[in-house]
């Protein structure tokens, strides 16, 4: 109920206009967002790198309404790629296709995505395409498949365990050697296309994780470029899911370079550090920029305790 409420708030433009202006909301968002500027984001990654963590940087933005905004968003990503290169931080980049205008004009979106891939390839970087709501699942898969088929292997995608279709999608992606980040899924989807209970989502996550771990071996030996991240990225803060993956390691004689764990900036830092200390690669998703509102609302939706944290900030103002 609370989850559905915050997810619908994340999409409501009236709420975005009023909440984004509030000082206490901006202050509360800073728990999950590294800052509004590129410089702040790079500094956050330097801090993570010092602790042995790597990062994926996301210049926040989604559902762009005008073509010129999509072009502007792509320009920000090009500047981000340049800044990563110049600063030497250990980070790749995450993008959203709705930010590049996929809902406005697919050709424009494809051109911008390929321009980003070209620039990333020139500076030895990798672009992960985040997965958004189910209206974009097939379009996102098609866009990434077509980029890889035209020679851009420095890109990967995200699979959401809550979608019933994911066990088929993951096979398509594995067959094309496309690196996959596996997450549970952060949007509100109807029961005919997404599992409705947490138990079902968790079971799906464990099954898909096993599929990815098994595929990792073939990919590593087939075509891995050492500059790209591991084939399988397990994006979760759920210790049971993480334990399941760790138990698969000896069972599959898996090697640690086949996979990495990923977590969100500001969430379970203790677990991020503990896994790093145990010798795993942990990549932190570091969002930054002024369009923090929908991302922040999804983080509130995930956990009722975050709402109390939000309210506490209101009373501190």
Is 199 noted as a catalytic residue in this protein?
no
Q: What is the DSSP string of 56-125?
A: EEEE---S--SHHHHHHHHHHHHHHHHHHHHHT-SEEEEE-TTTTTTTT-HHHHHHHHHHHHHHHHHTT-
Q: Is residue 156 at the binding interface for ligand FAD, with CB under 6 A as the rule?
A: no
Least Cβ distance, residue 39 to ligand FAD (angstroms): 22
Enumerate helices (H) and strands (E) in the chain, giving the number of each. 13, 8
Tokens at 197, concatenated? 């209970």
**Which residue lies nearer to ligand FAD by CB, 154 or 262?**
262
| From 235, 245, 254, 282, residue interacting with ligand FAD (rule: CB under 6 A) | 235
Least Cβ distance, residue 298 to ligand FAD (angstroms): 7
Going by C-alpha positions, the residue among 185, 178, 190 that lies closest to residue 231 is 178
Q: Is residue 116 at the binding interface for ligand FAD, with CB under 6 A as the rule?
A: no
Is 181 noted as a catalytic residue in this protein?
yes
Residue 140 per-residue DSSP state = H
Other beta carbons within 10 Å of 311: 12
**Which residue lies nearer to ligand FAD by CB, 89 or 264?**
264
**Which residue lies nearer to ligand FAD by CB, 67 or 271?**
271
Task: Exactly one of 128, 130, 169, 241 is catalytic; name it.
Answer: 130
Least Cβ distance, residue 253 to ligand FAD (angstroms): 26
Helix (H) or strand (E) holding 180: strand 180-183
Positions marked active-site: 130, 181
Q: Which residues are at the interface with ligand FAD (CB under 6 A)?
A: 130-131, 158, 160, 183-187, 235-238, 262-264, 267-268, 285, 299, 302-303, 306
């Amino acid at each position: 109920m609370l989850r559905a409420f915050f997810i619908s708030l994340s999409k409501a433009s009236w709420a975005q206009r009023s909440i984004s202006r509030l000082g206490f909301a901006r202050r509360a968002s800073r728990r999950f967002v590294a800052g509004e500027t590129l410089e702040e984001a790079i500094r956050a990654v330097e801090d993570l790198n010092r602790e042995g963590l790597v990062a994926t940087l996301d210049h926040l933005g989604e559902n762009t309404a005008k073509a010129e905004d999509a072009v502007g968003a792509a320009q920000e990503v090009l500047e981000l790629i340049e800044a990563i290169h110049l600063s030497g931080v250990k980070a790749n980049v995450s993008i959203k296709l709705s930010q590049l205008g996929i809902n406005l004009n697919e050709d424009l979106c494809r051109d911008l995505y390929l321009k980003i891939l070209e620039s990333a390839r020139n500076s030895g970087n990798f672009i992960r395409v985040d997965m958004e709501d189910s209206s974009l699942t097939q379009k996102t898969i098609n866009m990434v498949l077509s980029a890889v088929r035209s020679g851009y292997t420095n890109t990967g995608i995200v699979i959401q365990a809550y979608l019933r279709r994911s066990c088929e999608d993951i096979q398509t992606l594995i067959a094309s050697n496309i690196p996959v980040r596996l997450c549970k899924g952060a949007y509100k989807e109807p029961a005919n296309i997404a599992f409705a209970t947490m138990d079902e989502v968790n079971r799906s996550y464990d099954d898909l994780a096993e599929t990815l771990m098994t595929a990792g071996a073939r990919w590593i030996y087939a075509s891995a470029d050492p500059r790209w991240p591991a084939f399988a990225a397990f994006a979760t803060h759920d210790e049971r899911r993480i334990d399941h993956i760790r138990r698969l390691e000896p069972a599959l004689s898996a090697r640690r370079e086949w996979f990495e764990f990923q977590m969100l900036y500001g969430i379970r830092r203790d677990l991020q550090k503990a896994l790093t200390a145990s010798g795993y690669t942990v990549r932190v998703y570091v969002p930054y920029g002024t369009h923090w509102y929908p991302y922040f609302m999804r983080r509130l939706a995930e956990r009722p305790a975050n709402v109390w944290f939000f309210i506490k900030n209101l009373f501190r103002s």
